[in-house]
Structure formats: C-alpha cells, structure tokens
Amino acid sequence: MKKKVLIVDDSALVRRFLSRIIEGLNFEIDTAKNATEAIKKSSK
C-alpha cells in the first residue's frame, strides 16, 4: 500500500513539478490549489 501525499500550492507548475518528483518515490499523490480545497480533500 502506497503512502499518500497532499501537495498544496497556488501554482499549477509547482504542483506538477512536486507531483512528478514525489510519485517517483512511490507515493500516491493528490493536489490542491488552496487551503479550502486541501481541507475538503483531506477529509475524505
């Protein structure tokens, strides 16, 4: 089972960059563009 990481940043470029790096380390990635979206996603 992969560990999960939630990346939160208002820049789509930063989210994509970090996602690619962290996915390569065998993590499941989800992203959010702001704190409100991050809270909703982390509540699931």
Note the pTM of the prediction, 2 decimals.
0.86
Total domains present in the chain: 1
Cβ pair 7, 29 in contact under 8 A: yes
Can you give the residue range of the structural domain that contains 30?
3-42
- pLDDT (tens digit, 9 = 90+) per residue, 1-43? 889 999 999 999 999 999 999 999 999 999 999 999 999 999 8
Instruction: Output the 3-class SS for the chain.
Output: CCEEEEEECCCHHHHHHHHHHHHCCCEEEEEECCHHHHHHHHCC
Q: Report how far residue 15's alpha carbon sits from residue 20's, in angstroms, rounded to the nearest whole number.
A: 9
